[in-house]
């Protein structure tokens, strides 16, 4: 009878340990990951892994306990077979069989809790991946907006550069050109008025007619300005466009080794990216079907 009480007390210790682990597991099963704002995902993973470890250790202890029960039960059966009366050992044998049956039940529950813990770990892992994917999508969206703003700024800078190239040749020609006729028209008293002309050139001038009215005079050499400015402007724009194309072509080739077929390499990268996306979608679909 003493060994039966000792085994029953030992069995109660395993029961308390099983109930303690079960309470922690049920807490995570009844509440989702969002119900634990004070715990990070890493802390939740650590707790669940400790629970899984505890269930595995408890299952191993119950296996050892079951072997002990089988040994003591066999010993009692041998003693009962040697006893002629057979009355005193019958209650002990029934108690041993009860403890053995209860131990099997607890082992089944431990196996069940171990599987449920693994499922909960996988669920938290998938939730963490979804949160990471959501963060990555937000980062990509922000990067896209930054790129769009940078593109607008780049377009503005290109516009400013284009307008500068448009007006710079004419300004250079107008400042560098000084016609002899304009020098004759500008006396010492009217030098300031002659300088205040369109594009700093003296093709336009004011004079007093016979009636004493101020009139605007245009010199016949005004076409010199257009003849010099238009070809120079066209040459500058052509050189700028050629330089942009050369720079873009060189920038596209810098990311590949020398001698690489860029068209084939980009086609391979596109196929590889599409295959990766299809694999990712298929994996996510399998996980969703699993849960």
Structural domain boundaries in the chain: 2-148, 177-255, 259-291
Report the Cα–Cα distance between both ends of the chain, in Å, rounded. 50
**Cβ–Cβ < 8 Å for 240, 165:** yes
For 204, the 3-state DSSP assignment is: strand
Supply the pTM of this predicted model.
Answer: 0.50
**E-state strands within the chain:** 204-208, 214-218
Task: Measure the CA–CA gap between 54 and 20, rounded to whole angstroms.
Answer: 10
137, 151, 169, 193, 245 from 143: Cα distances, Å? 10, 12, 39, 56, 26
- pLDDT band for position 115 (cuts 50, 70, 90): very high
Across residues 89-95, what is the average pLDDT?
Answer: 70
- Range of 67-76, 171-180, 181-190, 256-265 with top mean pLDDT: 67-76
Round the average pLDDT of the chain to a whole number and report it: 74
124, 186, 203, 281 from 183: Cα distances, Å? 88, 5, 11, 80
Look at the block and give the residue holding tokens 């995570």. Answer: 28
């Amino acid at each position: 009878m003493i060994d039966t009480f000792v085994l029953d007390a030992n069995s109660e210790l395993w029961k308390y340990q099983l109930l303690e682990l079960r309470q922690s597991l049920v807490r995570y099963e009844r509440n989702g990951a969002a119900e634990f704002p004070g715990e990070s995902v890493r802390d939740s993973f650590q707790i669940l892994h400790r629970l899984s470890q505890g269930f595995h250790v408890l299952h191993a202890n119950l296996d050892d306990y079951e072997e002990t029960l089988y040994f003591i039960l066999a010993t009692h059966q041998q003693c009962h077979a040697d006893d002629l009366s057979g009355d005193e050992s019958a209650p002990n044998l029934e108690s041993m069989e009860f403890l053995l049956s209860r131990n099997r039940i607890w082992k089944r529950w431990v196996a069940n809790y171990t599987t449920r813990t693994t499922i909960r770990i996988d669920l938290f892992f998938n939730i963490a991946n979804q949160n990471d994917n959501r963060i990555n999508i937000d980062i990509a969206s922000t990067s896209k907006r930054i790129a769009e703003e940078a593109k607008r700024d780049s377009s503005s800078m290109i516009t400013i550069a284009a307008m500068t190239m448009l007006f710079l040749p004419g300004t250079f020609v107008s400042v560098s050109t000084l016609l002899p006729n304009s020098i004759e028209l500008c006396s010492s008293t009217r030098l300031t008025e002659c300088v205040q002309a369109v594009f700093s050139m003296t093709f336009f001038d004011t004079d007093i007619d016979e009636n004493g009215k101020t009139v605007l005079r245009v010199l016949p050499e005004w076409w010199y300005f257009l003849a010099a400015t238009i070809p120079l402007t066209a040459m500058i724009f052509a050189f700028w466009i050629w330089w942009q194309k050369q720079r873009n072509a060189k920038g596209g080739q810098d990311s590949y080794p020398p001698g690489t077929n860029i068209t084939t390499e980009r086609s391979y990268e596109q196929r590889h990216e599409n295959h990766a996306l299809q694999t990712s979608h298929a994996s996510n679909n399998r996980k969703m079907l699993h849960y």
